[in-house]
Structure formats: structure tokens, C-alpha cells
Structure 1
Amino acid sequence: MSKYEQEKKMPWMWYVGLVLGGLAVLLMTTIAPVWHWFPVQITEQGTVLAVTENGCVIKTQTVNLPVIQKCDAQPGDVIEVTYYAPSKVTSGYYERMQEKAVLVQP
């Protein structure tokens, strides 16, 4: 195979690579949006439900019962709590998927 033939085949490989890369990006942004997997920091008010050896169990509006390790509160106290949760929890992604699933089920 001559050098000329190798140079001639090279652009074809680049085009296939670009198309495959573009398809991968398209699939990741439409079928399984990856930005919903990244954690976001949430700060909100929560009520202390229980104090355990691992920390305080908190009931918040967004996430059910996160455990805060360093906590001096008593059950029933309302405290401000900061924690990380997947962004799909706060974006309504789960609710939209459940609505779509109900439409598909017989």
C-alpha cells in the first residue's frame, strides 16, 4: 500500500469518528440526560425526627430523611440543613418520567 493510498483513506476514518462522536453526544443528551446524575447542594429548613448514634434524622421538603452527622438538636427542632442530592431530585425529572410511564402502561 502506497503512502498516497494511506492518506486517501484517512479522511474517511475521521468522518466516521466524528459521526460516531456526534451520535454518542446526541444519545446521551436525549435518551439519558447525564446532567441529572450530578449532585447539587441544597440548603433548606428541616425538622429533626430522631437523634441516633450516626447523627440526626431530618425530614425536609425535597429529600426524605437525610441523616446529618454533626447535630446538636433535639427531636422536633427546626434547623437549617445543607446536603447534596442528585439534581434529578430537585428538577422534577422523576415526576415527569412517572407521568410518561403511566401513559404507556396498559
Structure 2
Amino acid sequence: MNKSSVNSNQTKNLQPVFAVGVMLAIVVLMMTMVWPVWNLFPQYVTENVKLVSVDSSGCWADTQDNYLVKLVNSCSGQPGQHIMGTYDVKVKQRMHTFLP
């Protein structure tokens, strides 16, 4: 076997490893920079909120820092009433991103 055929075989063996490495780097970049996966997982907060609307789709409330959020638990109250409500705090973070 000559030296050029050995180098050729080694290069062919490294090509799939390089391709997998590039794909892995792209996936890691996409997961951290472009579309963060941690936004999929809710982070619930329970605090004293003021009910704004109660309808068949659920309860909407105004938080202490004036964000309108949908409560995740069922509520029995009238609009204007203050109750302890649970909501996903990441909804507020997403709204804050798009508000001026």
C-alpha cells in the first residue's frame, strides 16, 4: 500500500465525523440563540391579582405591575375583585419584549 492511498482512506473516514460535528454545532446554535428551548416550559407564579374578566374561556386578571394575564386555575369571582391567582410569568416576559 502506498502512502497516498492511506491518506485518502483517512480523509474519507473523517468526513462523516466532520459532518456530524457541523450538524451538532448548528443544532446547539439554534437551540441557544435562535429559539431558546427554555421558553417552552412554564414558570408559574401565584400573587394577588385584580380580576378583569370572567368568561367561559377562563379568567383574565391585572397583575400588580399592570400586565393583563390569563389565570391557569379556575376562579370564582366578579370583575374588580382581588384574588390570589396563578399565571405563567413568562407571558409577561414575552409581552415586555415586544412593548416599547
Identify the TM-score tier after normalising by the shorter chain.
0.5 to 0.7
Residues 6-85 of structure 1: matches in 2 within 5 Å?
A: 8=10, 9-60=12-63, 61=65, 63-67=67-71, 70-84=74-88
Gaps of at least 5 residues in structure 1 are 100-106
Aligned partner of 1:103 in structure 2 is none
When normalised by structure 1's length, the TM-score is: 0.58
Aligned partner of 1:104 in structure 2 is none
- Contact 1:47-1:76 at 8 Å conserved across structures: yes
- Contact 2:69-2:87 at 8 Å conserved across structures: no
- The farther-off stretch of 15-24 and 58-67 is 58-67
- The farther-off stretch of 11-20 and 29-38 is 29-38
* Structure ID, larger Rg: 2
| Counterpart residue type for residue 56 of structure 1 | C
Change (3 A) 1:56 1:43: same
CA RMSD of aligned residues (A): 3.3
- Kindly, what percent of the aligned residue pairs are identical? 26
- Contact 1:54-1:69 at 8 Å conserved across structures: no
